Structure 1
């Protein structure tokens, strides 16, 4: 099967996995979309848009996608480079003359250095409690005054230093070079050419009832979530202002696939996507960054994209520009697990596409029931177990794990009610048999793995009280 056909076949389980993660992490809402080869193979929403009002989350609810905005800013810059209106080696002072007039060393930072977070400029400023809504996000005058007073942290190209202030300056450069506001430019050169109707550069009060509410974190796992108001990010829109949906983000992500020329040439995309910085902290690599995109690998799959963090929303989009895959996950809480869920989805997609190393699906021995007859969700005192079909193979995994490949097992069908865990070295039950018991209607009543029994979830919950202590009767039995 093709990548798209494989993902389409797995979409039902991928949605089930997302639902489990949302419940497990107690996140109010999760919106997810997966696009492969121009097909939107999954578009789903689970949970609530507002935890106080209890409004169900829909796939068309708008999310603040925060630092995804940087990819829109970088795309805008590259369009202007292609048009001959900006050069990557231009100094930002050419477009923001106030920096030159004030004698700020930041004026000498180049467009490319700002795009790659190598300009040395401060991350958010010395007064950044606008991130906690203590006061409004800065306007142009306030931002520039803060840069002049306290803007430089490092020399140019001394360190990778992620900077929302730097991207705010890029927004001003886009305006100066194009003669349009940042909102106008991105709308006419990115949003409208892609046919997007639920994406924009800044909060739109006229659409207030279309936004998913942001929520506070569950501090120490005990506090109730509260709703956080949406605000205008003003001059910082190019760094963090955008809103969208997961589905529209996959359409935007597809415009960064090679061969798609709706926004940029492949030459410009190669420049944006190639590695500019290996980011290390305390001697350990913590990330990689290109020119307006972060760069990483999940397994053997090279990806670009971005995460986003806005008061009440955490988001993540991965783009594979060569194999034409986009995964976007949007959550509406400060502690939303967008990156872990998106990472897990990529891993599950790749697990469906390719068996784990060393495993070759064996030829069936005789006539056996279809693989779907072995599937289900089961539970025991230690947690959950899913038996499911991915890529035409029967596999076992824990759907509550942040990394679904931990404990992921390839299974062999050896009889109508018997499976075998693929033989290999390991700490689990490799090579051992999994025995199924069926109810009168043919459904699976229990699964025994490694000698321990699991039941369908409702049955386990009925049995769980008896598992809390060993009774005298059990001792004498």
Structure 2
């Protein structure tokens, strides 16, 4: 670390080579599995740093669950530790289940994507929204109101709409924009798609998705709506923290009724990642690859004031992160924020569930993808000398007055990471091993100590006892904490090291 204008500057991030598909699936999975310990440590650090009550994470590669993690608490009022089997409300992830159900019914010849809504929901035959097609509703291109003129059910002021209320909103408030005029996200639209699924299948929505989407995958902790019989299995939701606040309130779980197809589902990170894996190519348990391509096809690019806000397909969000073309969805439910990313070609799934309105699910998921791709990327530095210690002999967490820094082995690379930054790649550097006591930062354009030697000290047991980067020393956390008081006051005058 160096300083500019009297402020510390982290080393500039090294470019990460494109990595998806760079090795065979078994090799990629083995590499990610080997990195899982640090992925868990990084998530735990993020959760503690951001003061989120609890985080549940799953990483799945090639169908294998390589990380299944829970950190923090399920309920701040009781202090109950969060477990990997706690249930979370996954909110708008529900839309992907609805999209999958629609594709199944399409494949079965029970509906067509260009069917008008009123064909399946005749109560809307005389309503403007009744002309919207199934595909337009799936892609949020039907111009339908988002939640209705009165939507404080999202703040538990009153119950979520039942079927009668949903149809009334659709008739009286539903048409806001012209069809295909703009991308317009709509929970009401997906509630109406739930009615389409019911009409085309002849089953209640929850029964259909359980029988045809949940059960075929062997999922036992996933369902379309709040299950009161499992009340003690849910992680509590929590309010966000306004500026200056330190206390959170718990938020009661409620039935989303006719909006279950838009936002009612519950699951765990592990099971949601298993569902995401079924959307990878070559897996025909739910829908064909042709239907997957349709769901994952880019339909809309969402911009605001010239800045891209997101992309959407047909029932799934679409995004490129690094070299990966990803699909998936986010979810926002009172007290829970969630995110899943799926690389359907490389069979990689990352799911992050948080139990607070301000939960950093997106940030953690993107960070995990960055660390995974760092592990998969080939080394960019010369091989270590034959007489140097193995890479893991350099690994550890070190602290200085300016914060934490990790030396960690990811794949076949020794890298430097600042674990409290929102994007781990923002400070990531691959280190060249010179010998057992010296490493070197890459030589390139940077505000940091580019090209400089990193000096280490080791104890009698050969463990690293200090790391000096850019001339500034960091120690294992416990030793740093013992030293820190002396760093906050001017003592006796000292000259030189």
What TM-score comes out, normalization by structure 2 length?
Answer: 0.93
Q: Which residue of 1 aligns with 2:219?
A: 196
1:248 matched to 2:268? The reply is no
Local SS of the residue matching 1:85: coil
Local SS of the residue matching 2:221: coil
Which aligned pairs between 1:269-308 and structure 2 lie closer than 5 A? 269-308=292-331
Deviation at 1:370, TM superposition (A): 1.2
1-side partners of 2:221 and 2:272: how far apart? 10
1-side partners of 2:246 and 2:180: how far apart? 42
2-side partners of 1:148 and 1:328: how far apart? 37
Deviation at 1:168, TM superposition (A): 0.4
Worse-superposed segment, 46-55 or 467-476: 467-476
Local SS of the residue matching 1:61: coil
Aligned with 1:74 (options 89, 99, 107) = 99
Deviation at 1:75, TM superposition (A): 0.2
Q: How many residue pairs get matched?
A: 472
Deviation at 1:55, TM superposition (A): 0.5
1-side partners of 2:386 and 2:264: how far apart? 60
Q: Which residue of 2 aligns with 1:223?
A: 246
Q: Which residue of 1 aligns with 2:172?
A: 149
Q: Which residue of 2 aligns with 1:234?
A: 257
Local SS of the residue matching 2:426: coil
Local SS of the residue matching 1:86: coil
Deviation at 1:301, TM superposition (A): 0.6
Q: Which residue of 1 aligns with 2:384?
A: 364
2-side partners of 1:409 and 1:173: how far apart? 52
1-side partners of 2:393 and 2:205: how far apart? 55
Q: Which residue of 1 aligns with 2:460?
A: 440
1-side partners of 2:215 and 2:236: how far apart? 26
1:318 matched to 2:341? The reply is yes
Higher relative contact order (CA 8 A, sep 6+): 2
RMSD: 1.3
1-side partners of 2:197 and 2:330: how far apart? 22
Per-residue CA distance 1:288-316 (angstroms, 9 max, x = gap): 10000000011001100000000001000
1:451 matched to 2:484? The reply is no
2-side partners of 1:60 and 1:137: how far apart? 27
Gaps of 5+ in 2: 1-22
Aligned with 1:406 (options 401, 409, 426) = 426
Per-residue CA distance 1:236-263 (angstroms, 9 max, x = gap): 0000000000110111111111110000
Local SS of the residue matching 1:93: helix
User: Contact 2:384–2:435 (CA<8 Å) still a contact in 1?
Assistant: no
Deviation at 1:364, TM superposition (A): 2.3
1-side partners of 2:300 and 2:103: how far apart? 19
Deviation at 1:472, TM superposition (A): 5.3
Q: Which residue of 2 aligns with 1:98?
A: 123
1:65 matched to 2:87? The reply is no
Q: Which residue of 2 aligns with 1:397?
A: 417
2-side partners of 1:118 and 1:284: how far apart? 20
Per-residue CA distance 1:32-78 (angstroms, 9 max, x = gap): 11111121111111111111101111111100000000000000000
Deviation at 1:98, TM superposition (A): 1.7
Aligned with 1:211 (options 218, 231, 234) = 234
Aligned with 1:20 (options 37, 45, 60) = 45
1-side partners of 2:385 and 2:69: how far apart? 38
Deviation at 1:409, TM superposition (A): 0.1
1-side partners of 2:461 and 2:55: how far apart? 35
User: Contact 2:397–2:405 (CA<8 Å) still a contact in 1?
Assistant: yes
Deviation at 1:381, TM superposition (A): 1.3
2-side partners of 1:448 and 1:36: how far apart? 36
Aligned with 1:53 (options 68, 72, 78) = 78
Aligned with 2:287 (options 264, 267, 274) = 264
1-side partners of 2:307 and 2:57: how far apart? 31
Deviation at 1:223, TM superposition (A): 3.2
1-side partners of 2:252 and 2:405: how far apart? 39
Deviation at 1:221, TM superposition (A): 4.6
Deviation at 1:438, TM superposition (A): 1.6
Q: Which residue of 1 aligns with 2:109?
A: 84
2-side partners of 1:363 and 1:72: how far apart? 47
1:380 matched to 2:400? The reply is yes
Q: Which residue of 1 aligns with 2:205?
A: 182
Local SS of the residue matching 2:109: coil
